[in-house]
Chain A
Amino acid sequence: MLLFLIYKEIKLELRNKYALGGIFLYVIATVYTSYLSFKNIIHPATWNALFWIILLFASINAISKSFIQDSQGRQLYHYTLFKPQQVILSKIIYNAVLMVFISLLCFIFYAAFINYLVQNLYMFLLVLLAGSIGFSSILTMVSAIASKTQGNFSMMAILSFPMLIPFLITLIKVSKLAVDGIDNSVCYPYLWVLILINIIVIGLSYILFPYLWQD
């Protein structure tokens, strides 16, 4: 059932290609704009922070529509067919996969256009993975909440920023360590914190979403 729902999400996404294409173009355009304004970033801290800020806004753009695009009628139809837990898990998993693709694309373009400063690539990719899953789980739940307010984009930003900022600070800290080529053993505690946040957010979404769903 879960797989079916994920399949449905992918099919829906592929059907209106403009949404997926729009996100990819958004990432590329933002990276290119940064390239035109910065030319070349040598300072690792700036390089790192700019990368994550680009990714933050791309993820808000990508995920904010995940509940808004479903019409009232379709939601009612799903309500009769599936358990709410399946719906939220399928959305989180789908968005996580989407975010992994977006962040990899963003990383490749960023490295190609602006600079490539990563010294510990293994750790950086792990952080990228944890960050993508974290963004997707936080933003999926927030977009479910925001969709109840006749979904405007500003509500999404207001509700999600307090949750994203501490997560983003931790991400930036550990990915800075990875960029500087610090040994893995120093990075692992931070990575565990990121994973802990992910588990808590997904658990909370699993518990709370059924209450949000009943309308």
Chain B
Amino acid sequence: MLSACLIYYFLTFGKTKEQEVFYIKMTHLKWWKIAAIILVLYAIIAGFLLPVPALPILHESIRNLYFHVTMWFAMITMLAISVVYGIKYLRSNNHDHDIISSEAINVGIVLGLLGVSTGSLWANNTWGAWWVNDPKLNGSAISLLFYFAYLILRSALPDEDKKARVSAIYNIFAFTMMLLFIGVLPRMTDSLHPGNGGNPGFGGYDLDGTMKIVFYPAIIGWTLTALWILTLRVEYKRLYEKIQNL
């Protein structure tokens, strides 16, 4: 569909040099990047237009599910990639793995900030405050603190090799603790979030399954977009270091 639109655009408006470059770039995208574009567009358009269950308190703000929750999925994917490459770095001492690991954390932090801000907007509309004392909110704030500390640790180590090794170790340590703090501790107490402390899971709100047909594609779309950003960042970092080493 996308390439059909592009061909139409291309044939209608003639071709300049720039248009030709744009056309070649767009038609040579890998399939998963095209999937990312289509799925995110679908999530935004369908997310705002398709019907949602009419519920008290939540009302139309339930559409935030397609953005708030998907950001967390994308963030966890990025952080998991970062840990995997951190472990790979410790085993191989390959500098390229360190680039991927650290850039995945940078992308993950941006997604985490987006997740917190969308969540904060949602909380203000449904719970009546921008920030509440909820175990999941505390968990996300603490995990952001973890990764800010990671950035500071990286900047405090001047030697490249040492920086990569020490930060990979801290990364593995932090990720494991974060899984523990987000995964185990909130289940011990009451939470305002669905699925904790006697609240029904979100599936309980979505009685006729209308939200699933947007929610699942949205998760995949945002995750693929995050991956795309990651590949661009990694490519940029590799080129940057190549120039530095010239």
Residues of A within 8 A of B (CB): 141, 145, 148-149, 155, 158-159, 161-163, 165-166, 169-170, 173, 189-190, 193, 196-197, 200-201, 204, 208, 211-212, 215
Contacts and interface: CB of A to CB of B under 8 A. Distances in A.
Contact of A163 (B156, B169, B177, B184): B177
Nearest to B150: A159
B193 interface: no
A212 B166 contact: yes
A141 B169 CA distance: 10
B149 interface: yes
Which label, helix, strand, loop or mixed, suits the secondary structure of the A interface?
helix
A212 B165 contact: yes
Contacts of A201: 177
Interface in B166-224: 166, 168-170, 172-174, 176-177, 180-181, 184-185, 188-189
A163 B150 CA distance: 12
B153 A159 contact: yes
A158 B185 contact: no
24 contacts: A145-B153, A145-B170, A145-B173, A148-B166, A149-B166, A155-B156, A158-B153, A159-B153, A162-B174, A163-B173, A163-B174, A165-B145, A166-B177, A166-B185, A169-B138, A193-B184, A197-B177, A200-B176, A200-B177, A200-B180, A201-B177, A204-B176, A208-B173, A211-B169
Q: How large is the interface on B (under 10, 10 to 19, 20 to 34, 35 or more residues)?
A: 20 to 34
B181 A166 contact: yes
Interface of B: 90, 138-139, 142-143, 145-146, 149, 152-153, 156-157, 162, 165-166, 168-170, 172-174, 176-177, 180-181, 184-185, 188-189
Contacts of A169: 138, 185
A197 B143 CA distance: 16
Given A149-B156, A155-B153, A161-B145, A211 B165 contact: yes
Contact of B173 (A141, A166, A170, A189): A141
A212 B172 CA distance: 12
B180 A197 contact: yes
Contacts of B165: 211-212
A63 to B, nearest CB: 16
Given A204-B172, A212-B165, A166 B142 contact: yes
Q: Which 10 A-B residue pairs are closest in the complex by CB-CB distance?
A: A162-B145, A162-B146, A166-B181, A149-B156, A208-B169, A148-B166, A158-B149, A211-B90, A162-B142, A159-B149
A63 B58 CA distance: 48
A162 B149 CA distance: 8
Contacts of A159: 149, 153, 170
Nearest to B157: A149
B153 A149 contact: yes
A190 B187 CA distance: 11
Contacts of B189: 173
Given A165-B142, A166-B180, A204-B172, 19 more contacts: A145-B170, A149-B153, A155-B152, A162-B149, A163-B174, A166-B139, A166-B177, A170-B185, A196-B184, A197-B180, A200-B176, A200-B177, A201-B177, A208-B169, A211-B169, A212-B165, A212-B166, A212-B169, A215-B162
